[in-house]
Amino acid sequence: MKFSIRNLFKQTPVAWLQVSNNPAKMSIALAGIGFSNLLIFFQLGLMDSIYNSQRKPIEKLSADLTMVSSGYSNLGS
């Protein structure tokens, strides 16, 4: 039996048939996946901005040693 790429593309994969059977379900599923990706990237951006906002005052000090009172919860306040 000779195997070639043409024979592979002649057969329709079962997964594609299941997905493309109902276009409404497919579009709803794609919208859900897109929305979850949007939320993940929003969380990553928010986490990075919080990290950078706490790091900036420390970088602006440009000191080797800094004394801070124990009453401060962070250097930004």
Domain count along the chain: 1
Whether 1 is covered by a domain: the verdict is no
What is the pLDDT at residue 52?
83
Torsion 7-8-12-13 (CA) sign: positive
Whether 24 is covered by a domain: the verdict is yes
CA distance 76 to 58: 8
Annotate 8-39 with DSSP letters as a single string.
HHHSPPHHHHHHHT-HHHHHHHHHHHHHHHHH
What is the pLDDT at residue 74?
65
Q: Would you write out the chain's pLDDT as a tens digit for each of its 77 residues?
A: 566 767 766 777 787 788 888 889 889 999 999 999 999 999 999 998 888 887 787 788 878 887 777 777 765 55
What is the pLDDT at residue 66?
79
What is the pLDDT at residue 63?
80
Whether 22 is covered by a domain: the verdict is yes
Q: Domain range spanning residue 23? A: 17-57
Whether 63 is covered by a domain: the verdict is no
Q: Is the pTM of this model over 0.75?
A: no
CA distance 34 to 43: 14
